Amino acid sequence: MNIYRKYTVFYVGILLLISSLMSTNFILADEFTNFKGVIINGSAVDKEQTYSIRLLAIQDTASDLIEIEKTETTKLFEFKNVLINTNLTYFLMVDYQGVPAVFFIDDIEDFNNIELIVYERSFLPESIEVMDYSIMIPHISPDSNIISVLGLISLNNISTSTFMADLSDPNLSGLNLLRFSLPEKFENLSVDSDLPPGNVMQIPTGFALSNPIPPGDHQILYSYSMPYNTKSIKYVIKLPFGAENFKLLAPGKTSFSKPDNLELNSTNVDGKVYEVLKASNIQKGESISLEVINIPVPGAVSKITFFIKQNVIAIIVVSVSGFFLIVLILISLFKNYSNKLSSDQNLKKENNRLIDKIIELDEKYRNKKVEKEDYEILRSGLKDKIKGKI
């Protein structure tokens, strides 16, 4: 009875597993798959539109796009018998009014009922609003005097159209770009976002993005560094989209030259104290001018402590190795000294023995027990032996 129950549970588990796999998009290697769905215009445009849709793939280790299939449609689309290679990442791209909209296959739940939402294109950023504009200057690492800065911008497209500037327009101005200010002499700029693909355009006063901005909330994360041994940073932060909240964090004991509308407080982040400048409800087109002065740098004690913490294992290994090396040297010196002492004692005994022989030989010569010629030869030989030992 117990065996029967065990097998029953086993088979039920297998059936549940098969049912689960059949109800999800589980793609096996070299499996043929169909993709079927509809394109929806999120801007609620009544007239019929033509959309260009492509099924693309990309290898994880390569940047070249592989076009699987392409079609044009006014609404419905279908890609049949697509051979799926598990080494590739697949996605659908709808190109409408010059704006690419990307949808990854891994994010689609039902391959037979796909809904792709696209929007009309807007060429002006008038519907872009910034909710939070944050800048953070982390504490300077003890192993470096380089100031690194992080920035996080949360923005919202409140319209029902996708903003994307026309870079081919000869009359294009900075007012029609998604742009952000940086201090002079910034270095090593890096920008990431959750926006559709686009380019980062770096300029002396900051950077601009060519990415499309669909309706909804988005985030832009950027970082940069300042030249070695920079002691202060001067900001002129232009806010063409305004900001509901502005915040700048700098290491504790940092000084500022700031306008009166910026509130100064302090806070604790991961056990470290930061000075915080805040402002709210900044209107579109306004700017903030401030200077971050005397940013604290680690002292000699902090650098030594950091070095010890980072290299504690190496220090222990070197210390132990050095200790054993000193012990081996001392043992070697002691052995050499002992050997030399023993050798000196033996040499002294040998010399005393030779001297005694010379005295004995002299005594025999005085008593005429040794001929003169033999005496001189023997005495000379004994003297040479003593000289050779010294």
Span 172-183, pLDDT tens digits: 766 778 899 999
Which run of H or of E encompasses 221? strand 216-225
Q: Which amino acid is at 89?
A: T
Tokens 């039902």 locate to 110
Report d(CA 250, CA 234) in Å as an integer: 13
Which of 197-206, 255-264, 295-304 is least confident? Answer: 295-304
User: For residues 338 and 239, which has the higher predicted lDDT (pLDDT)?
Assistant: 239
Q: What is the pLDDT averaged over residues 82-95?
A: 90
pLDDT of residue 118: 94
pLDDT digits (tens, 9 = 90+) for 142-165: 666 788 899 999 999 999 999 998
Lowest-confidence region among 132-136, 201-205, 255-259, 316-320: 316-320
Q: Are 192 and 224 in contact (CB under 8 A)?
A: no
**Does domain 2-118 match CATH 2.60.40.2190?**
yes
CA Rg, the chain, in Å?
A: 43
Concatenate the DSSP letters of all residues of 41-54 into one string: ETT---S---EEEE
Which of 94, 103, 82 shows the shortest CA–CA distance to 27? 82
113-126 exposure pattern, b = at least 16 Cβ within 10 A, e = fewer: ebebebbbbbeebe
Q: Is 146 helix (H, G, I), strand (E, B) or coil?
A: coil
When pLDDT is cut at 50, 70 and 90, the band that residue 24 belongs to is very low
Nearest CA to 116 out of 203, 205, 52, 168 is that of: 52
- Residue 10's pLDDT band, with cuts at 50, 70 and 90, is very low
The answer to whether residue 78 scores a pLDDT higher than 50 is yes
pLDDT grade for 331, boundaries at 50, 70 and 90: confident
Tell me which residue has tokens 């070695």. Answer: 228
Task: Give the pLDDT of residue 232.
Answer: 87
Q: What is the pLDDT of residues 338-352, one digit of tens each?
A: 666 566 666 666 667
Does residue 3 register a pLDDT over 90? no
pLDDT at position 122 over 70:
yes
pLDDT at residue 306 greater than cutoff 60 = no
Q: What is the pLDDT of residue 41?
A: 92
* Same CATH fold assignment for domains 2-118 and 125-300: yes
Quote the pLDDT of residue 281. 95
Look up the CATH architecture of domain 125-300.
Answer: Sandwich (2.60)
Whether residue 65 is predicted with pLDDT greater than 60 in this model: the reply is yes
pLDDT above 90: residue 274: yes
Residue 94 pairs with which residues in a beta bridge?
53, 101
Which residues, 6 or more positions from 93, have their beta carbon under 8 angstroms from its beta carbon?
Answer: 53, 54, 56, 100, 101, 102, 103
Strand partners, 77: 37
Q: What is the pTM of this model?
A: 0.67
pLDDT at 303: 45
Region 360-386: mean pLDDT is: 71
Nearest C-alpha neighbor of 35 from the set 102, 82, 68, 95: 82
> Tokens in use for 130?
């910034």
Pull the structure tokens for residue 40.
Answer: 């929806």
Q: Where are the alpha helices (DSSP H) in the chain?
A: 2-22, 300-310, 312-366, 372-389
What residue spans define the domains of the chain?
2-118, 125-300, 312-389
pLDDT value at residue 343: 61
* Crossing angle between the packed helical segments 300-310 and 312-366, to the nearest 10 degrees: 80
pLDDT of residue 302 exceeding 60, the answer is: no
Average pLDDT over residues 251-260: 89
Q: How does residue 139 score in pLDDT terms, banded at 50, 70 and 90? A: confident
Mean per-residue pLDDT, 367-382: 71
Is-contact 262 288, C-beta < 8 A? yes
What is the per-residue pLDDT for 377?
72
Q: What percentage of the chain carries pLDDT values higher than 90?
A: 45
Cβ(87)–Cβ(59) below 8 Å: yes
